[in-house]
Amino acid sequence: MRILVLQFLPVVRGRPLPRFDPALGTLLALLRERQHELTLLGLARPDVSAVKSALAKSLPQLIYADISAVCTDAARRTFQYIQEHEFLPVVAGGEFATAEPAAVLSMPGVEAAALGEPDASLVTYLERIKDPAVGQVVQGVWLRNERGLARPQLPPLVEDLDSLPFPERELFQYADYVRRTGELEIAVGRGCPQRCGYCANPVVTGLHAGRGTWVRRRSPQNVLDEIAELRRRYAGARLVRFLDHAFALDLHWLVEFLAAYRAACDLPFRCHLRANAIGQLDLPALAAAGCTLADIEVISGSDFIRNEIFAMDLTHEQIVAAFERLKSAGVRRRAIVYLGCPYESEVSLADTHRLLQAITPDVVDARPYYPWPGTPAVQTCRENGWLHSRGEEQYHQDRCGIDMPACRPDVVATFLRRVRAEFPTALGQPWWRRWSSVSRSTLGALRPRKAAT
């Protein structure tokens, strides 16, 4: 079957679309194994010309759409165009289909929504629709047809991740990405034991309850085999980037993996670490294996926002200690913060600024907060009336996606610019670039305004 895959994702740090995603990549690899002809198009906003070109080149029989929760408007308008001109069936998956399947099925032309991990459900569904005589109700795929809405339960989870093929990368133009960044992106597992309020993981965990082990990992050898294959395929790799937020939370697996990695791979790597779990780690061993950069979710300088709203169980003291220990071990530190969170105020923004000054991160990734569907925090926003129809558009304008009287989006946007000007946002950013950006903003504020005529 000829399938046009539409990946709806926001633009992040200037990275072009389509953008590699391990879950989507694995699905595409499974579909290729079954001889489906695939074309991939990435969209952050509606783009009729790009869609027309992809339709003309691929002549698809079906559209599969992987939809981010902040690109629902782009998806809806794209589907409307397709239904007005091509009348192609649309199957949706990804984070938004998992969080809001009924909303996805209300979009133009969408006949099915795949929830959770689509490896078994979606592959089976796409095989079955080749033959109209075969029943199309498949576990994990909600259907809308003339008989109404079918909502079957989710299938058992794939527990042996080594049994899955390595993710497809060519469709993501991955050679260009490696050439530009020097990075190889790797996922070592699926699922996360944490239940942070800004993440959809608690809801997705609940969806899969009773369907198998939620937190799963590939064997160290399977991960190393993929890295070796990617190094053969893509010249210029200088760094391995492990994408899993739970990368270091299984200490037994981590010890085994670090020993194997150190023996088999000479590339440095970066990974996510949890600040309240760093005390359990052997940081010298982590650094000796090649860890040169740790991504750490600081999220906010406010203990109330971190722990009462986002349920991170993470104290100010733990954050400071984690950054000090990593620095002593020779590991650079990237602090991730969200600005404009529920119950944000000018006081909590100042708390975040002071915390960043105290921990002196090598890189700061400051992001506007968006209330992702399915997250526990979105209910708080809904109850307080902070959600609004402009939220998605504001996010694409680099502004927070909620509107609180105590901390308006304009206030958050101003603070976001200040953080990005005062702190390094990329490794190796020279001091004079940060100084010049601060100077320009300061001079702009001091420049006399023309008198009104």
Write the pLDDT tens digit of every residue in 353-374: 999 999 999 999 999 999 999 8
How confident is the model at residue 144, as a pLDDT? 83
| 435, containing H or E segment | helix 431-446
Q: How far apart are CA 147 and CA 138, in angstroms?
A: 16
Two tokens, residue 37: 């002809």
Question: Using an 8 Å Cβ cutoff, are 257 and 285 in contact?
Answer: no
- Asked if 177 and 325 sit in the same domain, the reply is yes
In a domain, 453, yes or no: no
Q: Is residue 289 part of a domain?
A: yes
Q: Are residues 34 and 101 both part of a single domain?
A: yes
What pLDDT does 428 receive? 59
Pairing status of strand 148-150 against strand 141-145: antiparallel
Q: In this structure, are 272 and 234 located in the same domain?
A: yes
Name the band, by pLDDT with cuts 50, 70 and 90, for residue 89: very high
Count how many domains the chain has: 2
E strand map for 98-182: 110-114, 141-145, 148-150
- Looking at the structure, tell me whether residues 261 and 332 fall in a common domain: yes
For residue 307, being part of any structural domain is answered with yes
The average confidence (pLDDT) of the chain is 92
Contacts of 65 (CB under 8 A, 6+ apart): 5, 6, 7, 8, 75, 78, 79, 90, 91, 92, 93, 94, 110
CB atoms within 10 A of CB 252: 7
Question: Within 13 A of 450's CA, how many CA atoms are on the CB side?
Answer: 2
> Helix 316-328 to helix 346-359 angle, to the nearest 10 degrees?
30
If DSSP codes are grouped into helix, strand and coil, which group holds residue 444? helix
Q: Which token pair is 10?
A: 């926001």
Query: In this structure, are 97 and 235 located in the same domain?
Result: no
Close Cβ partners of 21 (under 8 Å, ≥ 6 residues apart): 7, 9, 66
Q: Which residues have CB under 8 Å from 46's CB, separation 6+? A: 73, 74, 77, 78, 81
In 3D, which of 163, 155, 162 has the Cα closest to residue 208?
155
Residue at a domain's end among 117, 150, 183: 150
261 and 145 within one domain: no
- CA–CA distances in Å: residue 144 to residues 109, 199, 345: 10, 28, 43
Task: Render pLDDT for 160-195 as a digit per residue (tens, 0 to 9).
Answer: 999 999 999 999 999 999 999 999 999 999 999 999
Find out whether 412 and 370 touch, Cβ atoms under 8 Å: no
Q: Which two tokens stand for residue 174?
A: 């991955």
- Residue 375 contacts residue 338 (beta carbons within 8 Å): no
Residue 179 lies in a domain: yes
User: Where does 34-120 have alpha helices with state H?
Assistant: 48-58, 72-85, 95-99, 101-105
Task: Say if 155 falls within a structural domain.
Answer: no
451, pLDDT greater than 60 = no
Picking from 44-58, 120-134, 186-200, which range would have the lowest pLDDT averaged per residue?
Answer: 120-134
SS3 243: coil
Q: Are residues 38 and 104 in the same domain?
A: yes
User: What gap in Å lies between CA 296 and CA 421, rounded to an integer?
Assistant: 20
Contacts for 207 with CB less than 8 Å, ≥ 6 apart: 98, 115, 116, 154
Q: Is the peptide bond before 18 cis (omega within 30 degrees of 0)?
A: yes
φ/ψ (deg, to 5) at 111: -100, -20
135 band by pLDDT with thresholds 50, 70 and 90: low
Q: Do both 322 and 418 map to the same domain? A: yes
3-state secondary structure of 409: helix
Tokens found for residue 160: 């042996």
Contact 365, 336 (CB under 8 A): yes
Question: What CATH number is attached to the domain comprising 431?
Answer: 3.80.30.20
On whether both 111 and 212 belong to a single domain, the answer is: no
Residue 83 has pLDDT above 90, yes or no: yes
Q: Does one domain contain both 11 and 142?
A: yes
CATH classification of the domain holding 23:
3.40.50.280
Asked whether residue 441 carries a pLDDT value surpassing 70, the answer given is: no
Q: Is residue 452 assigned to a domain?
A: no
For residue 270, list its beta bridge partners. Answer: 241, 293
- What is the DSSP code (8-state) at residue 184? E
Same domain, 145 and 187: no
Question: Mean of the pLDDT values across residues 332-343?
Answer: 98
Residue 385 near residue 366, CB atoms below 8 Å: no
Give 47's contacts (C-beta < 8 A, 6+ positions apart). Answer: 78
Q: What is the pLDDT, as a whole number, of residue 440?
A: 45
For every residue of 261-303, DSSP letters joined together read HHHH--S-EEEEE-GGGGGGS-HHHHHHHTEEEEEEEEE-S-H
pLDDT in tens, 418-440: 999 999 998 754 444 444 444 44
Pick the residue with more confidence: 436 or 284? 284
Q: Is residue 401 assigned to a domain?
A: yes
Q: Is residue 156 part of a domain?
A: no
Distance (Å, whole) CA 389 – CA 250: 40
Domain limits at 297?
173-444
The predicted pLDDT at position 44 comes to 95
Residues 285 and 413 in one domain: yes
